[in-house]
Amino acid sequence: MTDNKAEKAWLRRRGRATRRRLSAQARRAAARKVAAWAPDIARLAGRGTVSCFFSFGDELDTAPLIGELVRRGSPLALPVVTGRGQPLTFRRWQPGDPMGRGAFGIREPLETAPVAEPRVVLVPLLLYDRRGYRIGYGGGYYDRTLAAARADRKIAAIGLAFSAQEIGRVPTDRYDQPVDWVLTERGLMECAGGARAAHLPW
């Protein structure tokens, strides 16, 4: 195990502990404040698709944000794990669509749902820094996904988190992909390691 792997494993435990300490009231307030950014996310996506995700465990509750995006008529997709070591696939989704259970028991669209290429990807994380580098869950799914998407087209990656999950510096490896922004209850932070808004084509 490399030093980075050991440090990241320790940071994952720290990130989970940080989220567990947050009160129910703080969680609800954070979810509402993040949801207020739905118009900006929809504007960034334009006519393109927004990839969202259903919260799992102690993650920031994405339900209010998803609800606001639905009300604005934004086309949505959800990530689907296709195999270990593989990038995620995104499939179209809207409320009421039939769903199944995928990896880790997370709800996901059925294989019959159309594949999408999202313009905006909302990314879960455990910890993050101001460069946009993140500690995820260790599977590398989003790193592979963002690398593949960025090689093919322009996308915007937005990490969703509580502000308490910020740390000074995330240890990185060559395959780590930073997000462009991090959205917390304190607002939208542009990250030094990600693409600048001026570089995006919409």
**Numbered residues of the known binding site:** 8-12, 59, 134-142
Amino acid residing at 100: G
The neighbour count for residue 202, using CB atoms within 10 Å, is 13
The phi, psi pair for 20, rounded to 5°, reads: -65, -30
Q: Give binding residues for ATP as ranges.
A: 8-12, 134-142
Q: Give binding residues for substrate as ranges.
A: 59
* Matching residue, tokens 């607002």: 187
* Matching residue, tokens 């799914």: 141
Strand runs labelled E in the chain = 50-51, 76-80, 89-93, 99-101, 107-109, 115-116, 120-124, 127-128, 134-135, 156-160, 181-184, 187-190
The neighbour count for residue 39, using CB atoms within 10 Å, is 12
